[in-house]
Structures are given as C-alpha cells and as structure tokens.
Amino acid sequence: MNELELKYGVNPNQKPAKIYVKGGALPIEVLNGRPGYINFMDAFNGWQLVKELKEATGLPAATSFKHVSPAGASVANPLNDVEKQMLFAPDYDLSPLATAYVRARGADRMSSFGDWVSLSDVCDEETALFLQKEVSDGVIAPGYTPKALEILKSKRKGAYNIVQIDPSYVPAALETREIYGITFEQGRNEYKIDKTLFENIVTENKNLPESAVRDLIVALITLKYTQSNSVCYTYQGQAIGIGAGQQSRIHCTRLAGNKADNYSLRKHPKVLSLPFRSDIGRPDRDNAIDLYISATDADDVLRDGAWQNVFTVRPDPLTEEEKAAWLSQITDIALGSDAFFPFSDNIDRACKSGVRYIAEPGGSKRDGDVIECCNRHGVTMAFTGMRLFHH
C-alpha cells in the first residue's frame, strides 16, 4: 500500500486528504483506529525524535506530541518515590520504556492532554498499562507485544489509534512541501547530534559532566522537532520545559522556564499532599495542581468554596515566599536553544530556573555579552555551530 485516505486534512473542511509515498510502500500499518492528518504529522515527527534519542543515548525513548511539537520527551531513567507520586505512577511496575513515557508525559501534563505518543522500542505491557489511564489520541511504535496491543485496543471504546512503523525505513534525502500551490524542496535535516557538539566550551567554567551531556543531547534532539523559535530545559534525561513557536527568543525562554518551574514545584510537599477527592480523575487533578501552583494568593483558587469540587478539605496555599525558597534549591538544569541567544536576558532568566549548562549555536553579534553573563552566573556554555530551526 502506497497511500492511505484520511477523513479530512488539518480542518474538517479540508477534503480530500491522504498520505502517500511516491515510490514503494508506506512504512506504517494502522493496527487500530483511524488516525487523522495531524495525528500522522505528530506521529512521524515524534518517531524521528525518539529514534534519534535512542541512537544517540542507547536508551529507550518516548515523546508526547501536541500540534506538531513535543509537550515532553525523555529517555529511560528510573523514578524515585517522589517522582512516581508527582507523575501519577506510584502503583506501577515500570519497564525502562515505561519510565521514558511517564517522564515524557509528566513534563507538561496539561499540554499532553490528548497527546500523540511515540515510542522508540516495542511497546510492552508496562507502558500500555500506564498509557491506558491517560487521555491520548494515539501511539506509534516499531511493534507491540500481544498483551500491550490488547490493552491499547481497549482504549476509547476500541477506537484508540495504534500505528506500527517499520524501524528500517529510510526516507528520501530530499523533502518537499507545498505552500499556496508553490513547491518547496530541501535536503532533510540529517545533522547528527552527539557529545562531540559540546567540545567548544566558550565560558570560563569548563565543567560538563556526563549527566549534563546526556541532558543537552535530549534538549537538542527535542528542539530538532519543535516548531521554532524554541528552547528546551532538561534534567535527568527528560525535557521539563519546552518553549515552542515564539517569535521572540526571550519569550521562548520565559515560557519554557515557567514550565520548568512548574515541574519543579510539583515536587513540593504541599503539592504532593493536596487532599484530592477520590472521584477526581487525572486531568482534573492536573488542572487543579496548575491552578494551585500558579495562584498568587489563596483566594485565586480557593475562593467561594470552589475547592470543595476537587478537595476533601481546603488546602493551605503555596505562598510566593515558599515557591521562591523551593526554586532557589533547584540546580544542574541544562538548556538548549535552536538558534543563538541575541541578548543576555535569556541567560539571566534561565538561571532563575536553575540552569547550569547551555548549548546554543553561537554566531550572534552579542556573543560576548552572552558569554560574559554566563561567566557571572558560573554557567558552562558550549557553542555547537548548528542551528536547529524546524517549520
């Protein structure tokens, strides 16, 4: 089969719609459901991301995509008890692939609502069991164990989208797209991202441990498939804050930094002990946690007895002083940027979220100012010489 008819394109009024290859057969098989146009855009971008993460690190990888950008991405890394609790996985036996998806989903759980999942390895039962409980549109993987396939086919009343991709598939070297009837053609972005990219350290601080190298690799490969402008904060092999599609880089840095702060604050004891009603599901818990963390005062989320819809008792507010004290302890965060930082304000903002390692292409007229700012903060920064715009 070299083409697959779709219900419609990006929007319901855009018909007809299909995906196809000009030579040979499609490298995918739809095992369940009826994926749509955007589903496949997410699936193919996400598959490239996790495939490259696995090749670069040797670890199983997963990503959670929404609207053709990752909401989260991660390689396998065991979870401690606090992380299991905050990521809604305290009672699961987690395989390495499952930990990768739990982390990827947990980077920004609100944005991951209704995600498309991409997995680097054959989906196992442990991953399927966790995914079964999440609101998700579909999944792509190189294969599924019989039990995992059975579990996933039970989602969405049997309509969950399940796609299997041929891991040996190699696309053509040239890619094309049409805009307003005009065809664009370019070579595929095949630039390999590995630890050699971080050899040009331009700051006074030259310390770059292996854990930071891993995190910078995760950041840059994530950015390679994120709509530009984009920056990515990473920690423990996991994206914890992604700023995508902003016209200004400082807005990317702020957006992603706020998400990274939110992720860190979810570990706060007050958040972990929120007294949820037993009948409140994960999506409503995610929304309540986000409101609780972002509130500037108690009345923002607790006024008029609204707390009774979610909590068994009125929770104590998380004060601005408590937030600041908690975030001041966060350190060793890595940050990648898909293009150079034009101003040092990006560094100042990143360091407020515990960033200590940065990778960016370099090449700005103000590189000197950016390097000087890194030196003031004690940050290690490498110039990669590689831009990673994605559109």
Backbone angle region of 226, left / alpha / beta, with phi > 0 → left and psi within -120 to 50 → alpha: beta
Q: How many other CB atoms sit within 10 Å of the CB of residue 351?
A: 21
Distance CA 350, CA 258 (A): 10
The catalytic residue among 229, 262, 323, 377 is: 229
Collapsing DSSP to helix, strand or coil, 103 comes out as helix
Active site (annotated) includes residue 390: no
Distance between CA atoms of residues 84 and 357, nearest Å? 26
Q: For residue 66, indicate whether it is catalytic.
A: yes
Kindly name the residue from 67, 153, 267, 352 that is annotated as catalytic: 67
From the candidates 51, 54, 66, 377, give the one annotated as an active-site residue.
66
CA distances from 193 to 61, 223, 226 (A): 15, 11, 15
- 33 close to 7: Cβ distance less than 8 angstroms: no
Spatial distance between the Cα atoms of 174 and 247, rounded to a whole number of angstroms? 27
Known active-site residue 15? no
For residues 105 and 129, the answer to whether their CB atoms sit within 8 Å is no
**Which amino acid, 11?**
N
Rounded (5°) CA angle 266-227-261: 15
- Reading the block at residue 225, the tokens are 């498939």
Rounded Cα gap, residues 360 and 388, in angstroms: 10
- What whole-number distance in Å separates Cα of residue 376 and Cα of residue 372? 6
Q: Cite the active site residues.
A: 66-67, 229, 391
